[in-house]
A and B are shown apart, each in its own frame.
Chain A
Amino acid sequence: AQVLELVFRSAASSTIPTLLLESFMMGVLLAFIPIGSYLLYVKSRSYMPFVSILWMVLVTMLTHWALSLRDLESTLAGRSMGFSTSLIDLAHAANASKAAAHGEHRAHHAHLGDGAVFGSVFVFGQAWRHLLPLVTETVLFGFASSLFAIAAYIVVRRSCSHWRSRFDLIIPAMVSLMYTLSLIHWAIALRCFTVLPKYAMSGAPLSFQTHIKGLDISLLIVFSLNAVMSDSIVLWRMCVVWERTSSVRMIGAVLLIATLGLNIANIVVLHRIMVYTRWFPRNSRDSEIITTYGLTPVGLAAAFLSLATNLFATVLVGTKAWIHRRQVSHQFGPKTRRTLAGRVMELLVESGVVYTAIWLLYCISFFRQITT
């Protein structure tokens, strides 16, 4: 157990920070290399050898990162040391060695023992549960940071040449706010992860639960704000595409108010459950590690309403794109090239379909694990 504690300490202080940095860089490369390759390809075909080198670098880095992650997982699960680090298996092993030392046969009575080492292994275990969501989030945060840098460059370049009005800056401003919120979310998730190994190493009493609950609520508030803003952008785009038709605007407003209300209600309910330990009906099949929408009926309603909002907006934009294409081919003949408005609408539909599919997967994950 003491060796295990040392291995965990070393993982927390050196291996995991390196892996997180590598994960962030993976996200950055996953954004810059495809966009850079596209720009070089459009500029001149003579850049193709350079582009293929970039992709080879990306594949090598991805392989290295995936192997590092697998190696870390195998260390934390104890496979590289030849035993299981699950608390029950450790208790069995400890009891078996005690029984052997005293010449008794008590190995089948597993209990956690009284040593501080078991407490420390338990808290480390809590930290490792937060690790994989954090690694995923760090890769995506690196990806979002690169996209934000590229978007900021586009906005600055355009503001020097042509912005028609201040209204054009609303979307860049909202996107900046959303990026800031996702930065805060990542910072809190990182804090959640770093607090636990510190408690484990200090050997302090298990008072970390209150601390972690506060951080979990903060994560939920930031995420809910981002989800509501993302839905509002989707609905706003739908209204613009439908040239602000009053019925579409009204449905959009109702959906937005309902999403906002359910998100606030979900935060209130989860705060009562976590902080005041009040009883509420709960979804026992929820597989989330960071509790968001999956635990209570109110949260599930908020998540499914967001899914419905995205689906509804995508279908309406798709319908408008189809009507637009029919009108263009009717007026200028079937072989007319796609117009700018048509291309933008197609892009909105395609991205809407991808985002809706991700929300659908997310909603399924509240009831069963997606992979085995």
Chain B
Amino acid sequence: LVTAVDHLDGAMAQLTSIYPLAVFILIALD
């Protein structure tokens, strides 16, 4: 987690695509 929080510059490109994917799946599961 410390590595992830310290390196958001590497993480953000993935997080921007994870966000809509996760919401889509959560709505489908609900």
Chain A residues numbered 222-248 whose CB sits less than 8 Å from any CB in chain B: 222-223, 226-227, 229-230, 233
Q: What CA separation (Å) do A79 and B7 show in the bound complex? A: 22
Chain A: CB-nearest residue to B2: A371
Chain A residues numbered 138-176 whose CB sits less than 8 Å from any CB in chain B: 139-141, 143-144, 147-148, 150-151, 154, 171-172, 174-175
Given contacts A154-B25, A344-B30, contact A292 B9 (CB under 8 A): yes
| Contact (Cβ within 8 A) B25 A178 | no
What residues of A have a CB within 8 angstroms of the CB of B20 in the complex?
171, 174-175, 178, 230, 233
Query: Quick check: which of A94-102, A128-136, A268-276 contacts chain B, the rest being far away?
Result: A128-136
Q: Does A118 contact B (CB under 8 A)?
A: no
Q: What CA separation (Å) do A369 and B10 show in the bound complex? A: 14
Across the interface, A347 reaches (CB within 8 A) one of B12, B17, B30, namely: B30
Name, among B8, B17, B20, the residue most crowded by chain A CB atoms within 10 Å (CB to CB).
Answer: B17
| Contact (Cβ within 8 A) B6 A230 | no
| Contact (Cβ within 8 A) A230 B19 | yes
How many chain A residues sit at the interface, stated as a range, is 35 or more
Q: Does A289 contact B (CB under 8 A)?
A: yes
| Contact (Cβ within 8 A) B6 A132 | yes
* Binary CB contact string for chain B from 1 to 30 against chain A (1 if under 8 A, 0 otherwise): 011111111111111111111111111111
Q: What CA separation (Å) do A38 and B8 show in the bound complex? A: 29
Q: Does A189 contact B (CB under 8 A)?
A: yes
What residues of B have a CB within 8 angstroms of the CB of A134 in the complex?
10
Given contacts A185-B13, A226-B13, contact A351 B26 (CB under 8 A): yes
| Contact (Cβ within 8 A) B4 A136 | yes
| Contact (Cβ within 8 A) B19 A148 | no
What residues of B have a CB within 8 angstroms of the CB of A39 in the complex?
29
* Binary CB contact string for chain A from 199 to 227 against chain B (1 if under 8 A, 0 otherwise): 00000000000000000000100110011
| Contact (Cβ within 8 A) A137 B13 | yes
| Contact (Cβ within 8 A) A182 B23 | no
What residues of A have a CB within 8 angstroms of the CB of B2 in the complex?
371
What residues of B have a CB within 8 angstroms of the CB of A369 in the complex?
6
Chain B: CB-nearest residue to A38: B29
Chain B nearest Cβ from A221, distance in angstroms: 11
Q: What CA separation (Å) do A178 and B20 show in the bound complex? A: 9
Q: What CA separation (Å) do A165 and B20 show in the bound complex? A: 20
**Chain B residues with a Cβ under 8 A of chain A:** 2-30
Pick 30 A–B contacts, CB within 8 A, sort by A. A69-B3, A133-B7, A133-B11, A135-B10, A136-B4, A137-B11, A140-B11, A140-B18, A143-B14, A144-B21, A147-B21, A151-B25, A171-B20, A172-B24, A175-B17, A175-B20, A178-B17, A179-B17, A186-B14, A223-B12, A226-B16, A227-B12, A230-B20, A288-B9, A289-B10, A291-B9, A292-B9, A348-B23, A362-B12, A369-B6
